[in-house]
Homo-oligomer: A and B are copies of this chain.
Amino acid sequence: MKTQLDHSSGNLTLDDIARLAGVSRTTVSRVVNEHPSVRRDVRQRVLDIIEEHHFHPNAAARTLAMQRSWTIGLILPHSVSTFFTDPYYPNLLMGIAKACNLYNYTLALFLVSTKEDEVNVFPRVGRKGFLDGAIVQSGHHGDQGAIGRMVDKKMPLVVVGRPFRSDNVTYVDIDNIKAAKSAVTHLYKTGCRRIATITGPIDSTVGIDRLEGYRQAIKENNGQVNESLIAEGNFTETGGYLAMQKLLPFKPDGVFAASDVMASGAMKAVEDANLHIPEDVSFIGFDDLPSASYGSIQLSTVRQNVTELGLKSVESLIEQIEDESIKPRQIILDTELVIKQSCRPLKELHKSE
């Protein structure tokens, strides 16, 4: 009777299939796992029965026996606001999800926004037998705890974004310093001489690095950094708007914003002040979001391929899962400066070139 019921509810076991096919449990397992040493006709008979009954091996049992779950965790620490405000996260998520599909891993998602979340979530992440490895989006001070604990557990780990303590951890990131530097240098080349920057939170590595790139570019081109031309933002549009308002009295003629979203807000502030883009103020953002064209002014930006970032992190994690001896390493992806209408054209530089 059991078998009859199970036929419809789809809760057969290997044994049921074995009985139905007149072979041993072992043989069915071999068929399921595509082990070569099963006779052609037997394999086919078993496959037919599996098909007919829509049998799927029980995931927990398989995980327990193989010590492999084919599941990876993605830990996204974030403030409530930024997650759906800045397309960076959805984008990264998509890249990672697609990569998981590609490699036939399942993705477990952990959104942690509060300390409480962290406490709740960690046991589930750390528990053996559930995750084969984890990806954590990082770059903030608060993340160190989670990362450290994963490392302690010897769980394969990839960090997206340079963590503060990056020794002995595999991470994938872009070269934020270089990218920022090239953006600012471009502004300089278009003739801007009072280039301001709206930074990310200064307790994050992105914030720090993009600012550092700005400083380096200014020093190389202009000689001296004017601290009044630096305003801290928080990666939100409002943050960008407010930062720009602080900057305006110092009459910047070019702004490098550490994210497109902030650039967007900043451009509003500029327009509200009745200035024109790019005639009065040029803009370069960071991210290359599709929606980052404010009104009809297309925003210049540093393009980072977030989907690629996701793909690489998954690949690198799987590598670690499948080969324990892999050493931590850093993967740095390229960025590209994309110039659109928010910048004035390059100045001819015959003399200095």
Contacts and interface: CB of A to CB of B under 8 A. Distances in A.
Contacts of A335: none
A71 interface: yes
A291 B106 contact: no
Contacts of A64: 58, 60-61, 64
Interface size class of A (residues with CB under 8 A): 35 or more
Given A58-B127, A58-B128, A130-B106, A84 B91 contact: yes
Interface in A1-52: 8-11
Contact of A127 (B59, B98, B120, B127): B59
B94 A111 contact: yes
Contacts of A152: 8, 10
Contacts of A56: 123, 126-128
Chain copies in the assembly?
2
A133 to B, nearest CB: 14
A242 interface: no
A129 B61 contact: yes
A271 to B, nearest CB: 8
A116 to B, nearest CB: 8
A108 interface: yes
B59 A130 contact: yes
Nearest to A81: B290
Contact of A154 (B10, B57, B109, B290): B10
B84 A94 contact: yes
A89 interface: yes
A111 B101 contact: yes
A246 interface: no
Contact of A60 (B10, B63, B237): B63
A63 B94 CA distance: 28
B97 A109 contact: yes
Max chain B CB contacts within 10 Å: which of A69, A127, A128?
A128
B85 A97 contact: no
A233 to B, nearest CB: 16
A128 B11 contact: yes
A117 interface: yes
A148 interface: no
Contact of A90 (B63, B89, B291): B89
A94 B121 contact: no
30 contacts: A9-B153, A10-B126, A57-B127, A59-B124, A59-B129, A59-B130, A60-B60, A60-B61, A60-B130, A64-B64, A71-B108, A80-B94, A84-B91, A84-B94, A89-B90, A90-B90, A93-B111, A94-B111, A97-B109, A97-B110, A98-B111, A101-B111, A101-B121, A106-B108, A106-B124, A106-B130, A107-B109, A108-B109, A268-B296, A295-B295
Given A60-B60, A64-B64, A268-B296, 17 more contacts: A10-B128, A58-B127, A59-B124, A59-B128, A59-B129, A60-B63, A80-B94, A84-B90, A85-B290, A93-B111, A94-B111, A97-B110, A98-B113, A101-B112, A101-B117, A107-B109, A295-B295
